[in-house]
Amino acid sequence: MNYYKPGPGKAAVKVLAKNGCDVKCPKQNCCGMPALEGGDIEFARKQAHANVESMLPLVRQGYRIAAINPTCSLTMRSIYPNLLSADNVKEFAAAVADTHELLTRCVAPAASTRISGAHR
């Protein structure tokens, strides 16, 4: 999304920020699903590990991980805990949310949502 078609990610960042969300955009990789579909489990594991390492510090500061693609959301929420054995993966997976879920929280009265991982 960042490189192939960055428009939807950039739009998501603008919409979330305009609606009061505190958005950070740390380094991120593909979620790894294309590699898994192609049978390259080790590469998918490498991508997943890099994403967890990059974004987990923000999760621990109270940020959520925005996923604008449902496949990425599913992969990070449901597949990462089975793909990686580290204890912190479940913490990361629990912080993943679809963009519309986060937007709903941002526009709710007195809501303050911090978001990490919305593609630039």
Q: Look up the pTM and report it.
A: 0.83
Candidates 24, 21, 16, 33; CA nearest to 80 is 33
Q: What is the DSSP letter of 19?
A: T
The domains of the chain are located at: 7-116
29-85 pLDDT, tens digit per residue, is 999 999 999 999 999 999 999 999 999 999 999 999 999 889 999 999 999 999 999
Torsional sign, CA 82, 88, 91, 94 = negative
